[in-house]
């Protein structure tokens, strides 16, 4: 029994020694790590200070830094000096043919969520490169809320993929007098320019949707007919002078034809007048091929107060004589309101009556 207890005691003694040894080891390791991290911290602070001081000295209008990582901070400081590179001629984001259907209802709240980079008023520009053109998209409008919803649903994603610096302007004719599309389009041109330095204008009927995002909504060396092959005409160009649905003109081209005629009330004729203006000014129409130029048109009955214009044939015959007197240089209108909505800017105008 006593032998047993002495054995127990010596075992206990050894265990105690081991525990004490482990404690020392633990303290030693802790001290080593503490000293090393202290060294590191000193070095870090010094490093940060040197990074802090030099750019501050060089750059008086420097960006205030909140970062902790020195490397990152240098980059942030360089960015304001460096200009964005120009976007490529052909956007790498394009996907080609698109399915366009009108058998569902569009929720604009959802469209807004799906396009978080579109700014109030329907403005957008690419983040990673400088867009090649500043494009104002002008839509003459009255009564067709449902069509506009489809247009916004389909076009915002397409225009962003095309890497354009763009704004969407819906020009709404006030009151119930006969519709005058061209006065609205001319108004859109004038009002968009008051807001931004646009150099390209796309005039898009609210019910025409492109079916291929390679059909870029930009301007070319000649006025562009974008809506080349409509489903309504079995995807064919109905006649070679056709210049409607969706067109683009640079600011220079638009001014060269003195904008659009102001005296076409009701349906029809104005597109042909614009075609005559283009040709009379010595320009020609450029078009994408019929595959890329496919568009879908929303079927609908003609609006009230947009009856065929009986004077249209007579007017078209005289474009050459009237075009320099009647156009953007003789436009009269009164803006009643301008609203910046999430997905577009809407401008309500009084364009007068026939």
Ligand X SMILES: *[C@@H]1O[C@H](CO)[C@@H](O)[C@H](O)[C@H]1NC(C)=O
- Among all residues, which ones are annotated catalytic? 205, 207, 267, 270-271, 297, 300, 302
CA dist 225 and 248 (Å) reads 7
Closest CA to 320 of 354, 262, 273: 273
Select the span of 96-104, 157-165, 253-261, 315-323 touching ligand X (CB under 6 A).
Answer: 96-104
DSSP string, 167-235: EEEEEEE-SSSPP-HHHHHHHHHHHHHHHS---EEEEE-TTEEESBTTS--S--SS-EE---EEGGGTT
**Measured from the CB of residue 223, what is the shortest distance to ligand X in angstroms?**
34
Among 99-107, 116-124, 232-240, 295-303, the segment contacting ligand X (CB under 6 A):
99-107
Binding mask 160-199 for ligand X (x = CB under 6 A): ---------------xx-----------------------
What's 266's DSSP letter? Answer: S
Secondary element (H or E) of residue 338: strand 334-340
Half-sphere exposure of 43 (CA within 13 A, CB side): 6
Q: Which is nearer to ligand X, 26 or 300 (CB)?
A: 300
Q: CA 165, CA 160: separation in Å to the nearest integer?
A: 8
CB of 217 to ligand X, least distance (A): 25
Candidate segments 101-109, 110-118, 199-207, 216-224, binder of ligand X by CB under 6 A: 101-109
Q: Is 301 in the site for ligand X (CB under 6 A)?
A: no
Among 64, 82, 92, 104, binds ligand X (CB under 6 A): 104
Candidate list 101, 109, 128, 197; residue touching ligand X; CB under 6 A: 101
**Sheet-wide strand order for 208-210:** 208-210, 294-297, 229-230
Query: In DSSP terms, which residues pair with 166 in a beta bridge?
Result: 124, 135
Tell me whether residue 100 or residue 219 sits nearer to ligand X (CB atom): 100
Taking the least distance from each CB to ligand X, the nearer of 5 and 103 is 103
Residues that bind ligand X (CB under 6 A): 101, 103-104, 175-176
């Amino acid at each position: 029994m006593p032998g047993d207890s002495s054995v127990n005691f010596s075992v206990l003694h050894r265990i105690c020694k081991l525990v004490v040894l482990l404690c020392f080891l633990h303290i030693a390791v802790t001290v080593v790590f503490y000293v090393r991290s202290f060294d590191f911290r000193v070095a870090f602070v010094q490093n940060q200070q040197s990074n802090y001081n030099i750019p501050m000295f060089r750059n008086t209008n420097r960006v205030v830094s909140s970062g902790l990582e020195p490397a990152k901070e240098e980059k942030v400081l360089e960015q304001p000096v460096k200009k964005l590179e120009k976007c490529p001629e052909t956007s790498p984001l394009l996907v080609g043919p698109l399915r366009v259907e009108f058998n569902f209802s569009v929720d604009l709240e959802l469209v807004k969520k799906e396009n978080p980079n579109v700014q109030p008023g329907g403005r957008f520009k690419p983040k990673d490169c400088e867009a090649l053109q500043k494009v104002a998209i002008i839509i003459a409008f009255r009564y067709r809320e449902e069509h506009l919803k489809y247009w916004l649903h389909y076009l915002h994603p397409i225009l962003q993929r095309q890497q354009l610096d763009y704004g969407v302007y819906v020009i709404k004719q006030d009151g119930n007098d006969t519709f005058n599309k061209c006065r609205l389009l001319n108004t859109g041109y004038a009002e968009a320019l008051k807001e931004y330095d646009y150099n390209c204008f796309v005039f898009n009927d609210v019910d025409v949707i492109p079916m291929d995002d390679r059909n870029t909504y930009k301007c070319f060396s000649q006025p562009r007919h974008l809506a080349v092959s409509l489903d309504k005409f079995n995807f064919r160009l109905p006649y070679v002078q056709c210049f409607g649905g969706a067109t683009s003109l640079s600011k220079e081209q638009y001014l060269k034809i003195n904008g659009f005629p102001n005296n076409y009330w009701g349906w029809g004729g104005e597109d042909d007048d614009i075609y005559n203006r283009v040709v009379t000014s010595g320009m020609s129409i450029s078009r994408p091929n019929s595959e890329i130029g496919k568009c879908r048109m929303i079927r609908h009955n003609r609006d009230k107060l947009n009856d065929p214009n009986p004077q249209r044939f007579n007017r078209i015959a005289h474009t050459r004589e009237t075009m320099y007197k009647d156009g953007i240089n003789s436009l009269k209108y009164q803006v009643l309101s301008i609203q910046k909505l999430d997905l577009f800017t809407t401008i309500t105008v009084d364009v007068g009556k026939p």
